[in-house]
């Protein structure tokens, strides 16, 4: 059975529909069947329009929201407001307190650590243990590996090697995403998986990180957002007086 590949972090400018459509078309050409585009709240109404366009392009679109909270309480407030509006919720973890709260909250799908400073990358063993008891995955954006050079790139690879080792130890799924805002940086899914071997992510796990793991997140959340969803494992099959 062939793999279905997904990129959960495309970041085109939503003000430029031409750019959005170009990146979606290129994703389809590169072999992706599912992409997630990061929306901001003012652009949430564009979701249905883009989903219709993606359907014509024969690629599935998931709506994603990146949350950048300053405090754990702000994170919880955003989750209570937006969780049921988006298929993917990612938290940009820029402080340890936020990272810890995001790792334990089952409403969070992706833990993303955007800083290149190792002192501000908080995916340690404590974070891994918390995430192992929730539904969060560790997301790694591959864009920096394509754009950085020299010592900065070497330090990033060292951090990623440590983080993926912790994720493996605590059985936290890893998701490899592009994180790009320009089509020139887009790569085929197997190319992203190959890049992951630079930080010692085994080939099988790297391929799952661009296929099985992101697909699991989207399918799980679509089930929860369905009007037939009652609780995990419980769905309404038929409505009516005789049911």
In CATH, what number is assigned to the domain containing residue 66? 3.20.20.140
Kindly compute the dihedral angle of the four CA atoms of residues 208, 209, 215, 218, in this order, to the nearest 10 degrees.
Answer: 160
* Rounded Cα gap, residues 226 and 236, in angstroms: 10
Domain assignment present for 242: no
Q: Which of 162, 185, 175 is nearest to 205 (CA)?
A: 175
Is position 205 within any domain?
A: yes
DSSP structural state of residue 185: G
Residue 31 lies in a domain: yes
Confidence (pTM): 0.90
d(CA 212, CA 137) in angstroms, rounded, equals 12
- Conformational region of residue 150, where left means phi above 0, alpha means psi within -120 to 50, and beta covers everything else: left
Residue 241: the pLDDT is 60
In a domain, 241, yes or no: no
Please indicate, yes or no, if residue 51 is contained in any of the structural domains.
Answer: yes
Q: Return the CA Rg of the chain.
A: 18
Residues 90, 107 contacting (CB under 8 angstroms): no
d(CA 80, CA 205): 32
List of E strands, 46-87 = 60-67
Domain count, the chain: 1
Note whether residue 169 is domain-resident: yes
Residue 130 in any domain: the answer is yes
pLDDT per residue rounded down to tens, the chain (243 residues): 689 999 999 999 988 989 999 999 999 999 999 999 999 877 777 788 888 889 888 999 999 999 999 999 999 999 999 999 999 999 999 999 999 999 999 999 999 999 998 888 999 999 999 999 999 999 999 999 999 999 999 999 999 999 999 999 999 999 999 999 999 999 999 999 999 999 999 999 999 999 999 999 999 999 998 655 444 556 555 666 655
- Contact (Cβ atoms closer than 8 angstroms) between residue 96 and residue 122: yes
**Residue ranges making up the domain that contains 108:** 5-235
Q: Among 175, 210, 179, which Cα is nearest to 193's? A: 210
């Amino acid at each position: 059975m062939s793999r279905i590949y997904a990129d959960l972090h495309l970041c085109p400018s939503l003000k430029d529909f031409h750019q959005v459509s170009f990146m979606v078309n290129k994703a389809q050409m590169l072999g992706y069947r599912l992409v997630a585009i990061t929306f901001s709240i003012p652009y949430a109404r564009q979701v249905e329009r883009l989903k219709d366009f993606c359907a014509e392009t024969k690629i599935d679109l998931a709506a994603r929201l990146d949350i950048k909270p300053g405090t754990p309480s702000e994170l919880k407030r955003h989750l209570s407001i937006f969780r049921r509006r988006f298929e993917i919720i990612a938290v940009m973890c820029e402080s340890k307190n936020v990272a810890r709260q995001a790792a334990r909250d089952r409403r969070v799908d992706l833990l993303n650590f955007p800083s290149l400073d190792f002192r501000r990358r908080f995916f340690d063993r404590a974070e891994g243990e918390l995430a192992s008891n929730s539904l969060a995955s560790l997301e790694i954006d591959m864009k920096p590996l394509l754009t950085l050079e020299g010592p900065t790139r070497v330090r990033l690879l060292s951090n990623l090697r440590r983080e993926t080792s912790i994720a493996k130890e605590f059985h936290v799924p890893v998701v490899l995403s592009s994180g790009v805002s320009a089509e020139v940086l887009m790569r085929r899914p197997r190319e992203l998986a190959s890049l992951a071997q630079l930080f010692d992510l085994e080939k099988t796990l790297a391929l799952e990180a661009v296929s099985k793991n992101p697909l699991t997140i989207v399918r799980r959340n679509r089930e929860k957002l369905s009007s037939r969803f009652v609780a995990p494992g419980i769905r309404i099959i038929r409505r009516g007086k005789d049911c």
